[in-house]
Chain A
């Protein structure tokens, strides 16, 4: 009888332990999802900001038609992208094009004196920062979640309920990490 009770007790304790691990895994997965949605919010903001930016800049930057056209093109590509892979790629290109624009702007002192443009530039800088910070927070969460899935004892629970490892949001080295070249003529 005593043995039976002890046995039941052990099962209950182990069960509670597993439940708490399961709950923490669900909580972490939700945090990953939330962090991802933050990235999407900021990407949407970037898309909303671009028409306004192009409108303001167009009048000044007559020689930079190509840069502006690229921005418009990548924006619509990014908005139409259906798979996450496509989206990441298009957003990378868009970020790169916006970086080029910011370098070119240095050649237009009139533009830099325009109050309207300065306000836009602050918004643009901030949105780019927010995107990279959101990505950073997302990757932190993913790392934490994946560690939990791989480590004992939570890996047992993760295996039982088929929790899958999340994918990091990496940027392609070539497109975004490259420092834009400035040429002085």
Chain B
């Protein structure tokens, strides 16, 4: 059940947290020794621990706020998009979560979504205006379920700690390599005063190797964790909605777009449901991708005919990938009862044209940016920008005066 997954993720978080601490201490020691072979190591370790502490504190207490601010997400109330609110609440109920995540909308027409919040109590789900415009109810439900799964599986916590590790190692290596160019003087001083020149040389080589390889290794680890989390969130999402096709067709729609999400960057990319950067060339699963290839995720979801258990997902995964790789921890595969699939919602088969979708997305983005909407009795809707200060506005079509 869910609980085992949460426990497994907690253990992994602690493991990564300790591992990253040790790695940082090592790096601090080596870099420090490079400058001063006697006392430098200790100072380096001290410096590394402080850096690590500060980064951990920031990301633990303000991580989700920073993530939301960087992505340009705005918290919205139910009247802006009732359907999104309802779908979030539906998934909260399905997950039996006591707290309702906050709902954010990003005013961007590229479809994408992410979840934040170390603890479920202060979690948030953010989706772009483009996503709301393009997806139907079932698809939106699939995406929200995927994000909700990140929250209930404590993926956000795991990814945050993994992210700090990456950040701290990159930062240390950056500082070190820069100081090689600018502050190289101390090196020669300590070297000349030191008798063991050989040991110094070894430390120098190790330090440079660490500075180059450390960030790459950390990044590969980060990406590997991220890919696995995505599969697991897909599996949990299907378990929540009982409807794999919703998420599958949402992923397909999202991947068909060629828009780049403007506010996303290298660090925040793994948080999104699909990689918001580098739309092309993501078909091949390689070590440097943050997300599993979408075509594979869709194929796995669409081959789940038997049921929506974790075991069913694992079976579908093995079949599509052609190899055995434990996506679900063994303890999570124990829910014996087969869970049947649900059929689609029958109503709401409204086919919208591209133009309608664009208008809907545009309206939503304007509403997010504090535009006021006035309906004129001649049938058109005036969209008043927030910097419009007059108290009256006249309709461009019929000339009626509206008071704001």
Contact = CB atoms under 8 A, between A and B. Distances in A.
Interface of A: 31, 34-35, 38, 42, 102-103, 105-106, 119, 121-123, 125-126, 129-130, 133-134, 136-137, 140-141, 143-144, 179-180
B82 A133 contact: no
Given A38-B93, A137-B93, A140-B96, A125 B82 contact: no
B93 A122 contact: no
B90 to A, nearest CB: 5
Contacts of B240: 133
B89 interface: yes
B178 to A, nearest CB: 53
Contact of A34 (B90, B96, B335, B345): B96
B324 interface: no
Interface string B141-162: 1000000000000000000000
A36 to B, nearest CB: 11
A126 B86 contact: yes
A130 B89 contact: yes
A126 B93 contact: no
Contacts of A143: 335, 337
Contacts, number: 58
Contacts of A121: 347
Nearest to B94: A133
Interface string B304-338: 00000000000000000000000000000001010
Interface residues of B, number: 24
Given A119-B82, A130-B89, A144-B1, A125 B94 contact: no
B291 to A, nearest CB: 27
Nearest to B337: A143
Interface of B: 1, 82-83, 86-87, 89-91, 93-96, 98, 137, 141, 240, 242, 335, 337, 343, 345-348
Given A106-B347, A123-B82, A179-B346, A140 B1 contact: yes
Contacts of B98: 34
Contacts of A133: 90-91, 93-94, 240
Nearest to B85: A126
A143 B242 CA distance: 17
A110 to B, nearest CB: 15
A126 B87 contact: yes
Contacts of B337: 143
8 shortest interchain CB distances as A-B pairs:
A126-B86, A133-B94, A137-B96, A133-B93, A129-B90, A134-B93, A133-B90, A130-B93
A39 to B, nearest CB: 9
Of B91, B94, B242, the most chain A CB neighbours within 10 A belong to B94
Contact of A31 (B91, B96, B335, B346): B96
B96 to A, nearest CB: 4
Contact of B347 (A34, A119, A125): A125
A106 B141 CA distance: 23
Of A105, A134, A180, the most chain B CB neighbours within 10 A belong to A134
A55 to B, nearest CB: 19
A125 B137 contact: yes
Of A119, A130, A141, the most chain B CB neighbours within 10 A belong to A130
6 contacts: A38-B96, A122-B82, A129-B86, A133-B90, A133-B240, A141-B96
A35 B89 contact: no
Contacts of A123: 82, 86
A122 B242 CA distance: 20
Contacts of B137: 125
B96 A35 contact: yes
A126 B89 contact: yes
Nearest to A105: B347
Contacts of A144: 1
Contacts of B86: 122-123, 125-126, 129-130
Contacts of A102: 346-347
B242 A136 contact: yes
A129 B242 CA distance: 12
B90 A130 contact: yes
Contacts of A105: 347
A145 B323 CA distance: 35
Contacts of B346: 102-103, 179-180
